Amino acid sequence: MFSTDRFSYKNKVFSAEISDFADRQDELFKPISPGALLKGFRLESARTGVIISMVLVETHFDRDNDLTHWTFKTIDHPAVKELIVFND
């Protein structure tokens, strides 16, 4: 689980750089529950304590086929449009 204070937030979109998670990068891409096919993580609001699930929906590459970022969507909270992790 990650806290929202590890991300920037604007217009219902959270964002961060993968290097911000140097010690825990693999936790962003684990099955969201045992046996699940969906990958992602849980996000806890630093302000309210509400926990939501973020699911990996797309991996983005540039025209040189270099990984640029990952997009996650929530499956249970309408106040969050998406979460983007940039590959810096």
Q: Write down the mean pLDDT value for the chain.
A: 94
* Per-residue tokens: 6: 């590890």
Amino acid at 70: W
The residue among 72, 67, 64 whose CA lies nearest residue 87 is 67
pLDDT at 73: 97
pLDDT at 34: 84
pLDDT for 39-75, tens place per residue? 999 999 999 999 999 999 999 999 999 999 999 999 7
CB 87 within 8 A of CB 18: yes
Its pTM stands at 0.92
* Per-residue tokens: 84: 């983007």
